[in-house]
Amino acid sequence: MHSVFKNRIKKTYYITSGFIVLGIMTGMGNANAQSTLLGSNGAWEASMEKSGSKQVCFMGSEPIKTVGKIKGRSRSYLMVAHRPQEKSLNVVSYRAGYDFKPGSEVKIVIAKKTYKLFTDDGYAFAYDSKSDRLLVNTMIKSNRLKLTGKSKNNKTVTDTYSLKGFTAAYKRISKACKV
- Could you read off the pLDDT of 78-117 as tens digits, one per residue? 999 999 999 999 999 999 999 999 999 999 999 999 999 9
pTM: 0.82
Residue 112, φ and ψ in degrees, nearest 5: 65, 10
Q: Mean pLDDT over residues 135-159, rounded? A: 97
What CATH topology corresponds to 3-176?
Immunoglobulin-like (2.60.40)
Q: Are 136 and 88 in contact (CB under 8 A)?
A: no
Mean pLDDT of the chain: 85
Domain boundaries, the chain: 3-176
pLDDT at 35: 84
Q: Crossing angle, helix 166-176 and helix 129-140, to 10 degrees?
A: 130
Task: Measure the CA–CA gap between 123 and 172, rounded to whole angstroms.
Answer: 25
